[in-house]
């Protein structure tokens, strides 16, 4: 049976990803700006919130989780998975003085855990100091999905990308546009050239190509979809390699198309 992926939004203004099989549905990050927006996206994508087996949070920046979506997740009775070292910080940063006493918080550690049919292995990635941030390797049957955004150095994470069937990875900014519209926060994110180097290196070490790659967390001011694609193609050309997988770019504020893996 296949597994499916869709980005609901992917930018510095909000991130929310869906991954599902016939029997298991997972949301990765829920950084939506309001309760109404959160309810609307859940209503559009699920027959019932009870279909959501878990909402997994990569880190605590407000474009990945905040008070208003937490209120809705509490209302819906969704299980919210946050790294165990971030639980107290989640309360301090995002509970907004509210106890959220009915919120179903369930911590994860650095070890693999299961959600329904999915086996999920968190791996820590370097982002901003004092904000533990995680990518995820998701195993379903013989398929491997890798999801990672909000990091700036891929060297220690490369092994996780090898032999993946699908990759969702950040390609945040174009270096020339960063010079024009400098933002120090961009230094904690992957540039287009670094994403190209990561994907080239992973492809060289893999026995097979992924079925698809989707580039995400594109900066609205310091990048454009065509620039991210162009720099990726240039990197592969420079290495004498062909892009032998489907390539997508996640829209910043809208839903992507559904990617079927397997």
Domain of 226, CATH number, reads 3.60.15.10
Alpha carbon distance 34, 42 (integer Å) = 13
Measured CA distances, 253 to 7, 9, 102, 191 (Å):
10, 5, 30, 20
**Strands ordered across the beta sheet of 118-125:** 113-115, 118-125, 133-140, 143-148, 166-170, 212-216, 246-249
At 72 the pLDDT is 98
- What is the reported pTM? 0.98
At 135 the pLDDT is 98
Whether the Cβ atoms of residue 159 and residue 173 lie closer than 8 Å to each other: no
Q: Which domain holds residue 32?
A: 3-261
**Per-residue confidence in pLDDT tens, the chain, 262 aa:** 999 999 999 999 999 999 999 999 999 999 999 999 999 999 999 999 999 999 999 999 999 999 999 999 999 999 999 999 999 999 999 999 999 999 999 999 999 999 999 999 999 999 998 889 999 999 999 999 999 999 999 999 999 999 999 999 999 999 999 999 999 999 999 999 999 999 999 999 999 999 999 999 999 999 999 999 999 999 999 999 999 999 999 999 999 999 999 9
> How many domains, in total, are found in the chain?
1
Enumerate residues 6+ apart whose C-beta is below 8 A from 27. Answer: 16, 17, 18, 52, 54, 55, 56, 78
At 183 the pLDDT is 96
């Amino acid at each position: 049976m296949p597994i499916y992926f869709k980005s609901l939004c992917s930018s510095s203004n909000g991130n929310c990803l869906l991954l599902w099989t016939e029997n298991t549905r997972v949301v990765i990050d829920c950084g939506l700006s309001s309760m109404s927006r959160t309810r609307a996206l859940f209503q559009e994508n699920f027959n019932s919130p009870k279909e959501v087996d878990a909402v997994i949070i990569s880190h605590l920046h407000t474009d990945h989780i905040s008070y208003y979506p937490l209120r809705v997740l509490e209302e819906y009775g969704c299980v919210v998975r946050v790294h165990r070292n971030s639980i107290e910080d989640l309360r301090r940063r995002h509970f907004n003085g509210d106890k959220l006493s009915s919120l179903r918080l369930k911590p994860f550690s650095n070890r693999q855990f299961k959600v329904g049919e999915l086996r999920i292995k968190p791996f820590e990635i370097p982002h901003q100091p004092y904000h533990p941030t995680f990518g995820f390797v998701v195993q379903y049957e013989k398929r491997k999905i890798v999801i990672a955004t909000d990091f700036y150095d891929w060297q220690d994470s490369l092994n996780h990308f090898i032999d993946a069937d699908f990759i969702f990875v950040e390609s945040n900014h174009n270096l020339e546009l960063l010079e024009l519209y400098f933002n120090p926060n961009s230094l904690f994110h992957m540039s287009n050239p670094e994403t190209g180097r990561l994907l080239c290196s992973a492809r060289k070490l893999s026995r097979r190509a992924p079925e698809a790659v989707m580039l995400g967390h594109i900066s609205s001011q310091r990048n454009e979809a065509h620039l991210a694609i162009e720099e990726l193609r240039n990197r592969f050309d420079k290495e004498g390699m062909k892009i032998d997988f489907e390539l997508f770019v996640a829209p910043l504020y809208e839903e992507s198309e559904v990617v079927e893996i397997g």
